């Protein structure tokens, strides 16, 4: 079994994944880290190829996950924009939507400089949030709200759902 974590940037995917993996005795991977190891920084990919080029790269990495087992996967915030990615998630495991309110996301991300899609500030974040929330919800097998929770508490809640 695999667990795929989806959600907006700042929802806790990259922070929760290793904690959850350790708690469940599973491996973990981060698709953004995989992209960076193979192609360079996400920011550089966006700068050179735009969002469409980045999404193509992201989908290629997600396709490579087909053979994984016993892994918690942290995904990029926009992975659900491509229905082929969601189909792969459904084939390889259980998808968990880490849900946080836009204000929480903004507060968690306000110091980050390397988030190309968030360079428009709070207005851009609200726009992304409104567009993506239904996609995360429809892709999810499980939804966990992460507002005001530590990674340890989120991992515990997910673990309890699998018992």
Question: What CATH number did the domain enclosing 101 receive?
Answer: 3.40.50.300
Residue 163 lies in a domain: no
Mean pLDDT of 122-133: 85
17 in a structural domain: yes
Instruction: Give the per-residue pLDDT at 145.
Output: 95
- Total domain count for the chain? 1
Q: Would you say residue 122 lies in a domain?
A: yes
Q: What percentage of the chain carries pLDDT values higher than 90?
A: 74
134 located within any domain: yes
Task: Share the mean pLDDT of the chain.
Answer: 91
Cβ(100)–Cβ(145) under 8 Å?
yes
With pLDDT > 70 as the criterion, what percentage of the chain qualifies?
93
Residue 95 pLDDT exceeds 60: yes
Please give the pLDDT value at position 124.
Answer: 77
**Residue 146 pLDDT > 90:** yes
Confidence (pLDDT) at 71: 98
Mean pLDDT of 127-153: 94
Which range of residues forms the domain containing residue 127?
3-158
Per the DSSP assignment, residues forming a β-bridge with 5 are 74, 96
What pLDDT does 112 receive?
Answer: 65
How does DSSP assign the chain, residue by residue? --EEEE-STTSSHHHHHHHHHHHHT-EEEEHHHHHHHHH--HHHHHHHHHHHHHHHHHHHHHHGGGG--SEEEE--TTGGGSHHHHHHHHHHSEEEEEE--HHHHHHHHTT-S--GGGTTHHHHHHHHHHHHHHHHHHH-SEEEE-TT--HHHHHHHHHHHT-
Q: Tell me, yes or no, whether 116 lies in a domain.
A: yes
Interval 4-37: pLDDT, tens: 999 998 899 999 999 999 999 999 999 999 999 9
Across the range 135-139, mean pLDDT stands at 96
Could you give the angle at the alpha carbon of 126 between the alpha carbons of 51 and 76, nearest 5°? 40
């Amino acid at each position: 079994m695999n667990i795929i974590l989806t959600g907006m940037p700042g929802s806790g995917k990259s922070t929760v994944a290793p904690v959850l993996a350790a708690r469940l005795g599973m491996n973990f991977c981060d698709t953004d880290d995989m992209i960076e190891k193979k192609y360079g920084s996400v920011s550089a990919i966006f700068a050179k190829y735009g969002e469409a080029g980045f999404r193509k790269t992201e989908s290629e990495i997600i396709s490579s996950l087909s053979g994984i087992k016993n892994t918690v996967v942290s995904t990029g915030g926009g992975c659900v924009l491509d229905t082929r990615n969601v189909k792969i998630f459904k084939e390889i495991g259980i998808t968990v939507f880490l849900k946080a309110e836009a204000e929480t996301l903004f507060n968690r991300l306000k110091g980050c400089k390397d988030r190309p899609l968030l360079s428009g500030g709070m207005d851009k974040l609200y726009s992304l949030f409104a567009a993506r929330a239904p996609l995360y919800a429809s892709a999810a097998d499980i939804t966990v709200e992460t507002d005001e929770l530590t990674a340890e508490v989120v991992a515990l809640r997910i673990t309890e759902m699998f018992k």
